[in-house]
Amino acid sequence: QVQLVESGGGLVQAGGSLRLSCAASGRTFSSYAMGWFRQAPGKEREFVAAISWSGGNTYYAVSVKGRFTISRDNAKNTVYLQMNNLKPEDTAVYYCAASTIATMKSAAYDYWGQGTQVTVSS
């Protein structure tokens, strides 16, 4: 069982940066791949980024590649999403999730956080 709590969301102007954190409970965090997803009002949840259990492999949606960076600290049971050069279209609720494999498919993720709101003003 893994419990996930996101933090770090907020309101930022276009071009600004935010760093999201996702703290996990449980001693098995390091055995899980982690992902970030987002959901904007009226839209389906979409993949943002994923990282393997070791941190050695990362994956990004085309829309965020080059602007967002996913990382993890297994000693702190935490995964991060550094978001730079934010755009209004990045506005969404951001969720972290845990899976046995790093994948873009949300159905593969077994555990989800409650989400944190990111709002980018133009």
Instruction: Write the pLDDT tens digit of every residue in 23-59.
Output: 999 768 889 999 999 999 999 999 999 999 999 999 9
What does the angle CA 40 – CA 44 – CA 47 come to, to the nearest 5 degrees?
A: 85
Q: What pLDDT was estimated at residue 118?
A: 98
Tokens of 81: 């999403």
pLDDT category of residue 1 using cuts at 50, 70 and 90: confident
- Residue pLDDT, tens place only, 53-106: 999 999 999 999 999 999 999 999 999 999 999 999 999 999 999 999 999 999
How far apart, in whole angstroms, are the C-alpha atoms of residue 77 and residue 54?
A: 12
Judged against a pLDDT cut of 80, whether residue 122 lies above it is answered with: yes
Long-range contacts of the stretch 69-75 (C-beta < 8 A, 24+): 70/34, 70/36, 72/34, 74/29, 74/30
Mean model confidence pLDDT for the chain = 96
- Cβ pair 50, 38 in contact under 8 A: no
- Could you give the 3-state DSSP secondary structure of residue 30? helix
Residue 30 has a pLDDT of: 87
